[in-house]
Amino acid sequence: MKISNQTLYNINKNEYHAQQESTLKDAMEMGLTEDEFYLICNKIKKIPNKTELGIFSAMFSEHCSYKSSKKWLKTMPTKAKHVIQGPGENAGVIDIGDNLAAVFKIESHNHPSFIEPYQGAATGVGGILRDVFTMGARPIALLNALRFGSPSELLTKHHVSGVVKGIGGYGNCIGIPTVGGETNFDKSYNGNILVNAMAVGLANKNRIFYSAATGAGNPVIYVGAKTGRDGIHGATMASTEFTDNSSEKRPTVQVGDPFTGKLLLESCLELMSTDAVLSIQDMGAAGLTSSSVEMASKGSLGMYLNLDLVPIREDKMTSYEIMLSESQERMLMILKPGSEEKAKSIFDKWDLDFAVIGEVTKTGRLILDKDGFEACNIPINPLVEDAPEYDRPYEIIQNKNTIKINELNINYTVDKILAKIFENPNISSKRWIWEQYDSSVMGDTISSNGKSDASIVKIHGTENSKSLGKGIAMTTDCTPRYVKSDPINGGMQAVCEAARNIAASGAKPLAITNNLNFGNPEKKNIMGEIVGSIKGISKAASFLNTPIVSGNVSLYNETNGKEILPTPVIGMVGVIDEVENCLEMNAKEDNTLLVLGQSENFTEGWIGCSIYQEIENKIIDAAPPPVNLEKEKKIIDILLQLHTKNLLTAAHDISDGGLLTTICEMLFKNNLGLNLNLPKSLLKSDSKDPILHSWCFGEDQGRIIVATDKIDKVNLFLKDSNLDYFVLGKTNASNNLNLKDITTICISSSKNLFEKTLPLIMGKHK
Amino acid sequence: MRSGVTIFPGSNCDRDIIVALKNITGKTPIKMWHKDTEFPNLDLIVIPGGFSFGDYLRCGALAARSPVIKNIKNHISRGGAVLGICNGFQILIEAGILPGSLIRNKKLLFTCRDTMLEIQDTIISPFLSGLKKEHHLNIPVAHNEGNFFASETLLNELKNDGRIAFRYIKEVNNDTDYNPNGSSNDIAGILSKNGRVLGMMPHPERAINNLHGGTDGLKFLTKSFEQIIG
């Protein structure tokens, strides 16, 4: 690098400081440990300047390096015949037939959303969408998994309102339908809410784009929005615990611009339809740092960037700031030499910045110039390969306490409990939330927001004379209280529930993206939750042949030392060959309801860790319902077989709130009634009978209620299947669910409770 | 039928209406990029929904100043038909082609859901004359600024001139929430003086097959197109 007098005059004061040697103190302020600082000096054989240190601290952060979880993530099942790309790229890719690929991923934006709910959630959506279209896929659906604090806290309302507006604000504007998700409340999230956003896209199986840099000398292109000072060191913030002063970190929250996101989406897809793009990487966490380093590292090459050429929107930004900014809606690309002009014309058309900022090199080093000086010159390998990998001590605590039903102190009658269940914000309708999301834009939404157990979006252009076309089924699931009591079992349960939901919508479960949200991994019990749930998820995913193809880990979800409930969210994707055959959860009149996976002799339900137990006894110190993987697999197979024979009219998985809750939910839409069959031994119970309660509200796994208008054929089929089932009765127009002489539940009143709970909580809070 | 669909940066229902137009008329409409000014003569121009220019400044305000708007005005002066859906309705108002204003929903929340529309007695309009008044239309809305607001004088004028095309109505008697945005007189769509420009908040292109939950959008679009070609 030649330094002329001219350039010497041009260096600004802050840039001069950024290029000065750093100290251990700087390293600690950036979230690195003393050992990590010395490791860095050792590996690069010099003391890094502040820009170089900033780049290391971002790459070594938990968020980018997965240093606490990597050891265990490697043990997850990631392969299957239908997997095209597993973890390690921007998103996972699976083969869904007809030359098509589904590209999907879930990602957290927890820490920023707590500090600034609207922007945190909006950029979470924007970020996950970029991950998907970076792979060359057009996003077709968004989902989310949200966890908020106690509904009675004022701050919770502020969070719910802001996060929901933020998710809608981005998704609605960019025009991708938000079709499903889940929302729970628990006081453990008071100080750390969870905002996990999932995006699903579609691509031609042979036109997937990857991030590995190719060809020394090829131009490196920056496109999209300009770089500002927003979000500097966001990845580092997301890798530490919160304290009471965390709101001071508001300036490190990124600001989203869905309009620019839409332009970037359209322009990138337009460019990707040509042959100009060799590799592409979005600038997400740790911005230009992680995108350039990952591209170079994956291609075993180096990269030279002239930071003076980066489009900036604020004056005098330093190399440190440019490299660590998390400004949104930006992409880094490597183009085929000579195609720059063609590419530029596309971005000009969409009024987006386009700049050639450097080139791929053979050096294996990241070299950055700024103001005519070399601001950074470090080897790429140590940034990725030498990122620490910790084998943190762990202890998996599995609660083995079982609840003895007869020892329960019963306070309420069946109907009263049911009312309390529907008033529970974790069960109640989330209409207040999902009506704020555009769920029907793109015109392909078949089922959204609870019409069926999984959301279904039609694959555009697959319609033919026989069918309206193929569809993708999607769901997100996790029951954190089960995971808390038994991480292994809870991990398995989340996978199984997701698979049941996909199957209950009429689709075949195919693959998983997961979002592992936990507290501080430096604590033995938290690390135990991480390891335990990974074991559970792995076991179930491998048994059901639904491999994990992408995911994200969010740790340090603690405030003042109090951790969240362990929340390993499973996002699952499946395929339905003919969308017109999707199954709703709403039963129709004169249909027979039967529960698959439960026998006539079954009377004592599992109430440990159930919603019922929370309502009746306020104890959660018990083992969650056990998971039997063989049964889970079988029930999915049988359900899909029954459905293929066209014997089913509706299906709904039994989860939170148990059998009775599930039946009611199926009757709600059409205000139906049912004279419920009871097992013989329960016929004489009264409305406070503990066994009856456990039968009604137990949360035993591996059960799905199906509806049929061809009960004889279903009976015939099931007799040979060796699967337990129990006929619950025939739906009628009465609007009453009768439990013999024990009690009668008015369906429309229950629905009223179910619908009004969340609006009451949110009240006038907008 | 020769039709065109305008595309502004931030339009996001352009593909949806193109699919609907193609399915119904058998012809793919031309795409009208906002910066372009040369187009063949058309029978119908659709301004689709979305967030043109990110809804920055005011919904539709920036799009209404785009070069393509001049073509739309010329098309209207030649007696051409224009359908503005959602953001398209907002753009028509901002361009001064339709009167009134669309302000934020009464609850200050984005709302996406089904609505029931009652067809009003109107002046002759290709968009309505093929429809039977007693048949209500079930068509979804998805917007943040769909609350039609106008002076009493204008509201009376629209009513007396037969320019109110659709009103939101109750599906069932006890439904207190049938109007999704709080618009004056439950107005969901209005017509120009000559009846050939319709602005509406609901999205007919999202109700064109049974899996959408209904085909009233298909019915509305099909009847409109039949009338437009005459």
Cα gap A739→A414, rounded to integer Å = 10
| B47 contacts B86 by C-beta, under 8 angstroms | no
Does A442 sit within 8 Å of B50, measured CB to CB?
A: no
Does A440 sit within 8 Å of B142, measured CB to CB?
A: yes
Which among A314, A357, A129 has a CA at the least distance from the CA of A226?
Answer: A314
Residue B27 Cα to chain centre, angstroms? 21
Of B16, B56, B111, the CB nearest to A443: B16
Cα gap B199→B182, rounded to integer Å = 17
pLDDT tens, residue by residue, A534-580:
999 999 999 999 999 999 999 999 988 899 999 999 999 999 999 99
Please give the structure tokens belonging to residue A465. Answer: 């004379």
Edge-to-edge strands, sheet with A548-554: A445-447, A455-458, A471-477, A567-576, A508-517, A548-554
Helix (H, G, I), strand (E, B) or coil at A26: helix
**AA identity, residue B31:** K
Distance, in angstroms, between A183 CA and closest chain B CA? 18
Is A109 annotated as catalytic?
yes
Average pLDDT over residues B134-148: 95
Name the closest residue on chain B to residue A166, using Cα atoms.
B110
Q: By mean pLDDT, which of A41-45, B47-51, B129-133, B202-206 is the weakest?
A: B129-133
| Maximum pairwise Cα distance, chain B | 52
Of A263, A437, A580, the CB nearest to B9: A263
Residue B206, CA atoms < 13 Å, CB-side half-sphere: 29
Helix axis angle for A747-762 and A658-668, nearest 10°, is 90
Instruction: Give every CB contact of residue A494 below 8 A, 6+ residues apart in sequence.
Output: A477, A478, A479, A482, A483, A533, A536, A537, A568, A569, A570
Give A-chain residues touching B210 at CB under 8 angstroms. 580
User: What is the value of ipTM here, to two decimals?
Assistant: 0.96
- Torsion sign across C-alpha atoms A717, A718, A719, A723: positive
Cα gap B137→B216, rounded to integer Å = 5
Phi then psi dihedrals of residue A254, to 5 deg: -75, 160
pLDDT tens, residue by residue, A196-212:
999 999 999 999 999 99
Is some CB atom of chain B closer than 8 A to the CB atom of A348? no
Give A-chain residues touching B112 at CB under 8 angstroms. 172, 434-440
Please give the structure tokens belonging to residue A71. Answer: 């050891």
Is some CB atom of chain A closer than 8 A to the CB atom of B51? yes
* Mutant choice from A437, A441, A449 vs B, greatest count of B C-beta within 10 A: A441
Distances (CA, A) of A283 to A324, A327, A516, A555, A626: 10, 8, 22, 21, 42
Residue bearing tokens 């042959």: A275
Is some CB atom of chain A closer than 8 A to the CB atom of B10? yes
Cα gap A487→A475, rounded to integer Å = 21
| A572 contacts A499 by C-beta, under 8 angstroms | yes
Beta bridge partners of A471: A458, A576
Give A-chain residues touching B19 at CB under 8 angstroms. 443
Distance, in angstroms, between B157 CA and closest chain A CA? 33
Is some CB atom of chain B closer than 8 A to the CB atom of A351? yes
Is some CB atom of chain B closer than 8 A to the CB atom of A611? no
Distance, in angstroms, between B152 CA and closest chain A CA? 29
Task: Write out the H or E segment, with its range, that includes residue A166.
Answer: helix A154-174
Residue bearing tokens 């106008």: B150
Cα gap A79→A696, rounded to integer Å = 39
Torsion angle of alpha carbons B52, B57, B60, B65, nearest 10°? -90
Distance, in angstroms, between A283 CA and closest chain B CA? 21
Beta bridge partners of A355: A222
Residue bearing tokens 């509806």: A707
CATH of B3-229, one of 3.40.50.880, 3.40.50.2000, 3.40.50.620, 3.20.20.80: 3.40.50.880
Helix (H, G, I), strand (E, B) or coil at A223: strand
Report the relative pairing of strands B197-200 and B81-85 from DSSP bridges.
parallel
Reply yes or no on whether the pLDDT at B61 is more than 50. Answer: yes
Give A-chain residues touching B107 at CB under 8 angstroms. 766
Cα gap A38→A48, rounded to integer Å = 10
Of A174, A446, A468, the CB nearest to B12: A174
Residues in chain B: 230
Which among A382, A324, A333 has a CA at the least distance from the CA of A353?
Answer: A333
Is some CB atom of chain B closer than 8 A to the CB atom of A174? yes
Distances (CA, A) of A414 to A422, A615, A740, A741: 13, 12, 12, 12
Residue B207 Cα to chain centre, angstroms? 14
| A78 contacts A549 by C-beta, under 8 angstroms | yes
Report the relative pairing of strands A353-361 and A302-306 from DSSP bridges.
antiparallel
Distance, in angstroms, between B203 CA and closest chain A CA? 9
Is some CB atom of chain B closer than 8 A to the CB atom of A410? no
Beta bridge partners of A572: A475, A512
Give B-chain residues touching A172 at CB under 8 angstroms. 51, 110, 112, 142, 144
User: Which residues in chain B (159-198) have CB-CB distances under 8 A to chain A?
Assistant: none
* Mutant choice from B22, B112, B175 vs A, greatest count of A C-beta within 10 A: B112
Distance, in angstroms, between B104 CA and closest chain A CA? 13
Q: DSSP H helical segments within chain B, as ranges?
A: 14-25, 68-77, 87-94, 152-160, 216-229
Residues in chain A: 766
Beta bridge partners of A707: A593, A650
**Which residues of chain A fall short of a pLDDT of 50?**
1-6, 765-766
| A189 contacts A147 by C-beta, under 8 angstroms | yes
| B72 contacts B6 by C-beta, under 8 angstroms | yes
Cα gap A194→A144, rounded to integer Å = 10
Cα gap A195→A115, rounded to integer Å = 12
Beta bridge partners of B102: B148
Domain ranges for chain B: 3-229
Of B10, B109, B205, the CB nearest to A259: B10
Beta bridge partners of A593: A707, A729
Which among A744, A727, A732, A717 has a CA at the least distance from the CA of A679?
Answer: A727
Is some CB atom of chain A closer than 8 A to the CB atom of B54? yes
Of A260, A436, A438, the CB nearest to B109: A436
Is A652 annotated as catalytic?
no
Residue bearing tokens 């009377």: A603
**AA identity, residue B222:** T
